[in-house]
Structure 1
C-alpha cells in the first residue's frame, strides 16, 4: 500500500511538471507572437511620408471642428445634454462583418439628426468574410442622406488576420462596391502603419484618411485625426473617442454626400 501511494505521488508530481511545462510553453509562445506582431506592425509606422500633412486645423480651440465616434457601447445618451455643447459631427458604427448590425445605430442617427448634428456611418472590417459581402451588408443598413459624412471603412490590426494579399484585395473589393453605389470612395479609418502596409501599395495617396494616433499628430495628410479615447462629453457616461477635423466647417462639407 505504501509503495502504491508513493507511485501515485510520483505520477501526480510528473503530471504537475508536464502541465507546468505546457503552460509555460504556451505563455512563452504568446509573448513571442505578441512581440512579433508588434514588431511587424511598428516597422510600417515609420515609412517615408509621400503625402505630408497640409495642416488646416485652427489654432484657436474655440474654432476647432471636432467630432465623436459612437456605437452600441454608448447605450445611454442624454441627447438634450449633448446638444448643450454639441460636437460638429458624429460617426456611428453601423455594421461589422457580413451580418452584424449595431443595435443602437438607427436610434443614435435619428437622435443626432434631431439635434442638428452632422452624422456619418462606419463599417468595422472583418477578416472572416469577403469585402464584397461586407460592403453590400453595410450599404443595406446605412441610412445615408444628403449632407451626411461619406461612408467610412474601419480597418484595424488584430491578432488573427489573413494574408497581406487577401486583405489588400478584399479591402479593394469593399471600396469598389461602395464607389459604384454612391459615386465616391469611402473614407478609410486606420493607423498609418496599417495604411502603409495593406492599402497604400495599391492606392498610393489617393484615399482620404481618418487616422488614429493617440501620441502625436500624424505627419501623413489626413482629413480627420482621432486624438484620444478619453474625452468626456456632457450627456454621455464614461469616456468617448475624440476626433479633430483638418479644416473649417465649410471644408467639412467637401466630405459629405
Structure 2
C-alpha cells in the first residue's frame, strides 16, 4: 500500500513538473543564465540534485540572510555553505523593514554575511509599503542601507522589488544601481520596463527544481552570459567591478 502511494505521488509530482517546464520552455531558450532564490520556506534542499537539474542549468542562487535589524533566516548558514560546495554562484539578500533603522539593518546584514570573490553582489529586498513613512523618506532610508553596504563590500548592491513598488518608489531614482524585478504577469519584462538597469527577472514563484520539494522562485539574467560576471564580486586582478572608489553617494542625514 505504502509503495503504491509513494509511486503515485512520484508520478503526480513528475506530471506537474513537466507541465510547469513546458509553460516556461521559451524563457529557458531566450535567456542563457537562470537561477533560484530560497529561504527557510524551502526547508531541506538536496544541493547536488539542484546542480543536476535538467530543464535548465541552475547557475546561481540567492538566499535570504536577514530581515529587519535582528532577524536571521534559520537556513541561511546551511544553504550558504552547501551551495558553495556544489559550485553554485551564491548571493545573500536582506528583507527590508520600515520599522527598523536602515543603519541598524545594514549593520545586521554585514554581521551575518561574509561575501567572497565570485559571490553575487548584496541584495536589498524592498517589496512593502509604509502608511506612516513618505516615499521621499523611504528613498532616503534605502539609500542609507545601500551606501553602508556598498562601502563595506566594495560593490554596488542590487535592488530587488516587484513591478508596483518599482514604478511607485524606484523608477527614475537610484540610477547607479541594478534592479531585480518580480513580475509573474508579463511575458517579456524587457518590453514592460524598457529599463537597462533591470538585470534580473523573477518570472515565477511556482517553479519546480530537482532537489527542492516545494515550489521555488525562478529567475533569469537579462543579458549575455559573460555580462552576468559583472554582478559578482571580482576575483583578484579582475577588471569587472560595479564599485567606483570615491563615487559613493553621500548618505543623507
Alpha-carbon distance in structure 2 between the residues aligned to 1:239 and 1:210: 20
CA contact (8 A) 1:76 1:236 kept: yes
- The runs of 4+ residues in structure 1 deviating greater than 6 Å are none
Are 1:143 and 2:111 matched, yes or no? no
The Cα of 1:200 is off from its aligned counterpart by 3.8
Match in the other structure for 1:104: 75
Alpha-carbon distance in structure 2 between the residues aligned to 1:192 and 1:63: 20
The Cα of 1:131 is off from its aligned counterpart by 0.9
Match of 1:255 among 231, 247, 252: 231
Match in the other structure for 1:232: 208
CA contact (8 A) 2:31 2:223 kept: no
Are 1:178 and 2:149 matched, yes or no? yes
Q: Any gaps of 5 or more consecutive residues in structure 2?
A: 1-25, 234-253
Moved more, 88-97 or 71-80: 71-80
CA contact (8 A) 1:127 1:161 kept: no
Summarize the alignment of residues 80-95 of structure 1 with structure 2, pairs less than 5 Å apart.
Answer: 80-85=48-53, 86-95=57-66
SS in 2 for 1:73: helix
SS in 2 for 1:209: strand
The Cα of 1:161 is off from its aligned counterpart by 5.6
What are the superposed Cα offsets for residues 226-252 of structure 1, whole Å, 9 maximum, x if unpaired?
000010001101210000011233211
The Cα of 1:78 is off from its aligned counterpart by 1.5
CA contact (8 A) 2:158 2:178 kept: yes
Tell me how large the CA RMSD over aligned residues is.
2.0
SS in 1 for 2:40: coil
Alpha-carbon distance in structure 2 between the residues aligned to 1:190 and 1:172: 15
Summarize the alignment of residues 137-216 of structure 1 with structure 2, pairs less than 5 Å apart.
Answer: 137-158=108-129, 162-200=133-171, 202-203=173-174, 205-216=175-186
Q: TM-score with structure 1 length normalisation?
A: 0.72
Alpha-carbon distance in structure 2 between the residues aligned to 1:62 and 1:192: 21
What are the superposed Cα offsets for residues 48-106 of structure 1, whole Å, 9 maximum, x if unpaired?
xxxxxxxxxx9762862100000111111122322222510000000000000111111
Moved more, 164-173 or 87-96: 164-173
Q: How many residues align structurally? A: 199
The Cα of 1:199 is off from its aligned counterpart by 2.9
What are the superposed Cα offsets for residues 196-215 of structure 1, whole Å, 9 maximum, x if unpaired?
32234543x33200011101
Q: TM-score with structure 2 length normalisation?
A: 0.73
What are the superposed Cα offsets for residues 94-133 of structure 1, whole Å, 9 maximum, x if unpaired?
0000000111111101111100100000000001111111
